[in-house]
Structures are given as C-alpha cells and as structure tokens.
Homo-oligomer: A and B are copies of this chain.
Amino acid sequence: MIETPYLLFLGDAPDMLAAKVAIGIRDWRPDHAVGQIRLPGCGADLGLTEMTLAEAKAAGAKTLVIGVANRGGLISAAWKEVLIQALEMGYDLASGLHNLLRDEGDLVAAAQTYGGTLHDVRVPTVGYPIANGVKRRGKRCLAVGTDCSVGKMYTALAMDAEMQERGMKSTFRATGQTGILITGHGVPLDAVVADFMAGSVEYLTPDNDDDHWDLIEGQGSLFHISYSGVTMALVHGGQADALILCHEPTRAHMRGLPDYSVPSLEELRDVALPLALRANADCKVVGISVNTQHLTEEDAVAYLSEVEARMGIPAVDPYRHGAGRLVDALAAI
C-alpha cells in the first residue's frame, strides 16, 4: 500500500510518451497528485501545479512517485539528487522501473536514515497462497484481449470510474505496475512465481458485498504465446462473472511476434469463455471494448456498430464514447 497523496516526479522525460505512469495517475486518480516536479530540460508537462519538494510536502504529499519511464529503466544520476532530498524530507519513494530503488545503495542508505519506504512495484512483497478455487462472494469482471496492450487497463479503469459516478460498489484491481502506481496497491502479476499466480489473483479479489464489482485489470492475452500463462491465471484465479473482450482493429500482428496474427473477437470469445466457465459456471461475455485511436470518428462508429451487430453485445470505445454501455451490461447481470 503506497501512501497518498503523491508528488509526481517527471525527471528529464523527453516527451509525454515517457510520462505514461504520471498521466495515468492524473487522469484516473487526480486526488492522488498534489502537483508535479520536473528537472531542467523536461519535455513532459501534465498541466499540474509545479511544486518544489517543500511546497508539495506542505500540501500534504507523502510519496514521490517516479512517473516516468526512461530508456532501459535506469535511475539516472540526475534524478538521485531529488530522490535523496525527498527521503531527507520524509517522503517515501515509489517506482515501477525495471531497475529497482532497493538496488541503489545511496537510496537505501537515505531511506534507512530518514525512515522512508522504497516501493518497487514491480516486485511482489506478499507471500501469495496457492489458489484454492473456493467460490467467493461479490462479483468480478475481467478484461481479456485479442493481444497485449489493446486497452485492458484503460477499459477497467473507465468502467470503475463510471460505476463510482453512478454510486455502484466497485474497485479497480491493478495487476501491473502502472495500475499499482495509479491506485497505490495491487499485484505485479508478471513478476509472481508461476505456482502462485492464480493464488495472487484470488488474494487480490477477495470476498466482498454481493453487489460489489471488482474490475480486474487484464494482462497479456490467451493468444500471445509469450504471456498466455499469465492471462490463464487471471481467467482461473479471477473467477469472473463477466468478461469484456478488448481489441485494437488495426494491428498487423501480435505485439512483438511478427509471425503471429491477431485473432478475431469471435476467436477470443470462443477460447476465453469456456476457460472462464471452469472457475465460474455463470460467467458471461457482456461487452466489447475497442481501441479505435487509429480510426477516424466515422470509421470508428462504423466499425463498432458492425461488431455490435455481428456479436450481439455492446461494442464501444470507452475512451471515445465513455464506458456507460459496458457498465449497463454489467448492471444487467
């Protein structure tokens, strides 16, 4: 559990693309960010209040979050001055970088001296159990994709936001580093040891009120041969009542696998649903989320209505048109 609110560290990020984590926090948990702090030459700007460490501290910030990914995941020397100063001032640090805060001797020393915590969200900190498959109370929705990086996290976050707005009971359940930094907690599933993957998903989505929905962030794809085992653990550990199929219609091949074609939404449905039924006999495919960012508005609308007619369930781009119809579909279960 990472203490909020945050000050978002953008470092010397060359552009907005490098600030994906910070953008996610700003967009989905604006209350978690008191402001931003940047180094000279930073090309990213979230439009948040520019603050010094002292100003943010005075505004209540508890954790300095590294909101930027640089090439190779390194913690550069230029950053160190700010990070160590933050620890001296009583901040915790949180990072999803490949290189770990805990492997930097000077940060470890400063954290010990000043009593701060170093959160490396890529690394599991819990001894997860082996999954027991016992039926849990409450409801769960899992986003599954035809490929990796098609908008599964965005879909779950957008549905959660819509449900909150409607006064429904819901919780976004993060399974990746960006999601964990956005919400302050979750399971870094791709770093969990094989035997405990499904158990970590059960741990993440425990018993809850009968009318409460967990919106579980998906990972990988059942069709992506590099990561399909991780997805399988989500399907079985998640015990989903509802699946949302996620798709990006312009992709030429599976991400990182030039020899593998992207399956159709029908193929995804026909593989994912029987597997999900093993863990929850009532599971249904309730909606489709399409990432239409590479289509014009006209083409996007045409594509969505064609898919919806073909598959008989709501098909929307939650970024373009909101997640309302997906939430309607959940509420109708």
Chain A residues with a Cβ under 8 A of chain B: 130-135, 189-195, 197-199, 222-223, 225-233, 235-237, 256-257, 259-260, 271, 274-275, 278-279
Contacts and interface: CB of A to CB of B under 8 A. Distances in A.
A228 B228 CA distance: 10
Contact of A194 (B134, B230, B274): B230
B236 A229 contact: yes
A65 B254 CA distance: 44
A91 to B, nearest CB: 29
Contacts of A194: 189-194, 197, 229-230, 233
Interface of A: prevailing SS: helix
A190 B195 contact: yes
A54 B278 CA distance: 55
A239 to B, nearest CB: 8
Contacts of A278: 223, 225, 260
Contacts of A195: 190-191, 226-227, 230
A260 B233 CA distance: 16
Contacts of A274: 271
Contact of A198 (B134, B228, B236): B228
A293 to B, nearest CB: 26
A133 to B, nearest CB: 5
Given A194-B191, A223-B278, A133 B257 contact: yes
A133 B198 contact: no
Contacts of A226: 130-133, 195, 198-199, 236
Nearest to A257: B133
Contacts of A257: 132-133
A189 to B, nearest CB: 6
Contacts of A259: 133-135
B223 A228 contact: no
A185 B162 CA distance: 52
Nearest to A124: B193
Given A133-B257, A135-B259, 15 more contacts: A130-B226, A134-B259, A190-B195, A191-B195, A194-B197, A195-B226, A195-B227, A197-B229, A198-B226, A198-B227, A226-B236, A228-B232, A229-B236, A232-B232, A271-B274
A128 to B, nearest CB: 11
A194 B220 CA distance: 11
A260 B133 CA distance: 8
24 contacts: A131-B226, A132-B226, A132-B257, A190-B195, A193-B194, A194-B233, A195-B227, A197-B230, A198-B225, A198-B229, A222-B232, A223-B278, A225-B278, A225-B279, A226-B236, A228-B232, A228-B235, A228-B236, A229-B232, A231-B232, A232-B232, A260-B278, A271-B274, A271-B275
B237 A225 contact: yes
> A192, A193, A222, A228 — which one has the most chain B CB atoms within 10 A of its CB?
A228
B237 A233 contact: no
Nearest to A274: B271
Contacts of A193: 190-194
B131 A225 contact: yes
Contacts of A233: 194, 228-229
